[in-house]
Amino acid sequence: MRWVRRGGLSTLIFFIPLLASFGLFSWWPILRSLLLSLQRTNFLTSEWVGLDNFARVLRDPLLLTATWNTLWFAILAFVIGFPVPVILAVFIGELRRARRLASALVYLPVIFPPVVAVLLWKAFFDPSPQGVFNTVLGWFDIGPVPWLNSGDLAMPSIVLQATWASFGTATIIYLATLMSIQTELYDAAEADGAAVSRRFWHITLPQMRGVLLVMFLLQVIGTFQVFTEPYIMTNGGPENRTVTILMLIYRYAFISGDYGRATALSVLLAIVLSALSAVYLWATRRWSTS
């Protein structure tokens, strides 16, 4: 057969282990979660309950609170965290001699293990007058501020820590995109007398448009899956003001032992994120390619 003579069979043989590994570790857990969401189980005994787990999740009054908290985290992360890497990348891109040093310093927070970084910032947010941030504010006769103990300040404080921990990776990606832009475009703009702001608006942003759209989508997905920061810093408090959807899934599974309801909420979250991603990609398909 022509397909075998052209190496198709050997290609398929080498491809089978990859497909098997991907299916076993990526797709099988998804299919297993779908099955668990329709059962009441403690992993020793299982009972088929159909859509009852989904109904109990939707009746939980804490779901609305967790959804709003997650949306609030996503909005704050967009307002605070999305522009910072872009601005830093543009600033570092303008540097001539210290670009490598600045890139290394910007990426430095990423090398901290997530739990260590969160515990470090939790110490910074110490509500006592001896806390790091309260000590600084005390120099200006402000405070002490209850940071993580305040219902209004707890979520912005968590967003601040999450932004610090993650902006290094985004900055390096934006910087790599900036470095790939043809310098002739900037030279021509400078020859025409364009100021830095006009070069940024008419050259830099259009050239980075595709990367910005993808990074925004990844950030939205990441913010809807936030768990480590609120779990360690506030454990959902005060008064459930920082309970997120993933924390609710954690409570269902590992505090209540209700694995069926936990997987049902996980499936609902996956459906929402998939629909959101599809709509976003459809709405921005023209901007990302033009």
User: Is 181 strand, coil or helix?
Assistant: coil
Measured in whole angstroms, how far is the alpha carbon of residue 230 from the centre of its chain? 13
Please report the pLDDT score of residue 155 as a whole number. Answer: 92
Considering only residues 190 and 273, tell me which one the structure prediction assigns the higher pLDDT: 273
Q: Is residue 287 predicted with pLDDT exceeding 80?
A: no
Q: Place 3 in a pLDDT band, splitting at 50, 70 and 90.
A: low
The mean per-residue pLDDT over the stretch 165-173 comes to 89
**What's the burial of 119, exposed, middle or buried (CB within 10 Å: 0-12/13-18/19+)?**
middle
**Tokens 């608006």, residue?**
201
Decide: 124 and 210 in contact? Cβ < 8 Å: no
CA distance 188 to 194: 9
Please report the pLDDT score of residue 288 as a whole number. Answer: 61
The mean per-residue pLDDT over the stretch 127-136 comes to 88
What's the half-sphere exposure (Cβ side, CA atoms, 13 Å) at 142?
A: 8
Decide: 235 and 241 in contact? Cβ < 8 Å: no
The mean per-residue pLDDT over the stretch 32-59 comes to 88
Task: Dig out the tokens for 52 from the structure.
Answer: 């009852």
User: Is 283 strand, coil or helix?
Assistant: helix
CA distance 104 to 32: 42
The mean per-residue pLDDT over the stretch 87-111 comes to 86
As beta bridge partners, residue 48 has: 39
Residue 185 CB: number of other CB atoms within 10 A?
A: 15
Q: What is the pLDDT of residues 211-270, one digit of tens each?
A: 888 888 888 888 988 999 999 999 888 888 999 999 999 999 999 989 999 999 999 999
Share of the chain above pLDDT 90, in %: 31
CA distance 100 to 92: 9
Strand pairing class (39-41; 46-48):
antiparallel
Supply the pTM of this predicted model: 0.85
CA distance 13 to 39: 37
Q: Is residue 56 predicted with pLDDT exceeding 60?
A: yes
Please report the pLDDT score of residue 1 as a whole number. Answer: 67
Please report the pLDDT score of residue 156 as a whole number. Answer: 92
